[in-house]
Amino acid sequence: MFTDLDFADDASFLAEMLEVLVLGLTVMQEEAFTFGLQINSSKTKILQVHSSTSSSTVLVADGHVEVVDAFVYLGCLIDSSGGSRGEVLRRIGPA
């Protein structure tokens, strides 16, 4: 399933349904385990774009993954609005 994760210490997954994302993360955890690796659930975040779900955590494999409204990924702010306004404001704020 995962064939191009040469440097899998920083990866992102997209899914249209939370259940599909959870299944994908569970499969990745199982595949990683065969190589002696594991997903750090405390560093893993789930962001639902345009969603009314108010759950704060989701059970994935053996750990709880936090559901957040925004996070910084590769230096850019990603938020649940799906737009770039938050990132633009964040960058011009210190200027």
Please report which confidence band the pLDDT of residue 32 belongs to, taking 50, 70 and 90 as the band edges. Answer: confident
Query: Which pLDDT value is given to residue 82?
Result: 79
Distance CA 86, CA 80 (A): 10
For 29-38, 46-55, 64-73, which range has the lowest pLDDT when averaged over its residues? 46-55
Is residue 90 a part of any domain in this protein?
no
Evaluate if residue 9 carries a pLDDT over 80: no
Dihedral sign of CA atoms 43, 49, 53, 54 in order: positive
8 found inside a domain: no
65: in domain? yes
87 assigned to some structural domain = no
**pLDDT tens-digit map of 62-88:** 889 998 888 888 788 888 887 888 889
Structural domain contains residue 27: yes
| The model's pTM | 0.71
47: domain range? 18-69
How many domains are there within the chain?
Answer: 1
Residue at 47 is within a domain = yes
Q: For the chain, how big is the Rg over CA atoms in Å?
A: 15
* Mean pLDDT computed over 8-37: 84
